[in-house]
Amino acid sequence: MCGRFTLTASPTDVEEELGIEIPSFPPSHNIAPTEEILAIAAIHTAPKACFFHWGLIPHWSKQKNKGPKPINARAETIADTMPFKHLLPRKRCLIVADGFYEWTSDKTPFHFQNENGRLMTFAGLWDTWQDSESGEAVSSCTIITTRPNELVAKYHDRMPVILEEGNREAWLDVDITDASLLQKVLEPYDSDKMHACRISKAINNPTYKGHRRK
């Protein structure tokens, strides 16, 4: 799974790397489910940066606070599983990060990053729920996971799908709707491009937002 990640780059750095206007956001060493997270989605055909609630609330839910709110979706089954199969053709997004966490059996956390320090963009799906009476709307998302690469496999049996530049464009292309084509990009990231760093167990508390290092 992917249950915690980081985004400590500045909005300016994100803009320069991704080539899209980014709203202001606070850096975080410990982003957890239910928080508002920075994403890029193809809204009205043009990619746009926005903030999504992390934990998918399907548009057909009767109440936003009832029912499962998946933070992850398995790449191998999203084309056949509710509620993801209805989102895959048109409601795809990128979740912006610069690292993610996994834990060993004794709850020791490790932080995974790109070797060159560049951003990571996780493949995601999103939806918008709206209250039929009040009109309140909540846009939310889930992060797609896949089998681990050689590095992550030492710690966990899943990892987020990390999309590089060419696949980012394809993932946000609303003209691509074929599930079999889309699933081809949902592969493990090259382990040679990553490194892992052991960090303090303080990060195990989702409310802790301080420095991540050991």
State the pLDDT at residue 131.
Answer: 86
Dump pLDDT digits (tens) for 126-178: 999 998 878 889 999 999 999 999 999 999 999 999 999 889 999 999 899 99
Determine which one of 2, 15, 35, 164 is catalytic.
Answer: 2
Q: 1 or 211: whose pLDDT is higher? A: 1
Residues 194, 113: contact at Cβ < 8 Å? yes
Dump pLDDT digits (tens) for 71-101: 999 999 999 999 999 999 999 999 999 999 9
Residues 77, 144: contact at Cβ < 8 Å? no
* φ/ψ (deg, to 5) at 39: -140, 165
Residue by residue, DSSP assigns the chain as: ----EEE-S-HHHHHHHHTS-------EEEE-TTSEEEEEEEETTEEEEEEEEES---TT-S-TTSS---SEEETTTTTTSTTHHHHTTT-EEEEEESEEEEE-TT--EEEEEETT---EEEEEEEEEEE-TTT--EEEEEEEEEE---TTGGGT-S-EE-B--HHHHHHHH-TT---HHHHHTT--PPPGGGEEEEEB-GGGGSTT--S--B-
Task: Tell me the whole-structure pTM to 2 decimals.
Answer: 0.95
16 is catalytic: no
State the pLDDT at residue 79.
Answer: 96
2 is catalytic: yes
State the pLDDT at residue 63.
Answer: 85
State the pLDDT at residue 19.
Answer: 93
Determine which one of 21, 102, 133, 165 is catalytic.
Answer: 102
pLDDT at 214 over 50: no
Dump pLDDT digits (tens) for 31-51: 999 999 999 998 777 899 999
Percent of the chain topping pLDDT 90: 82
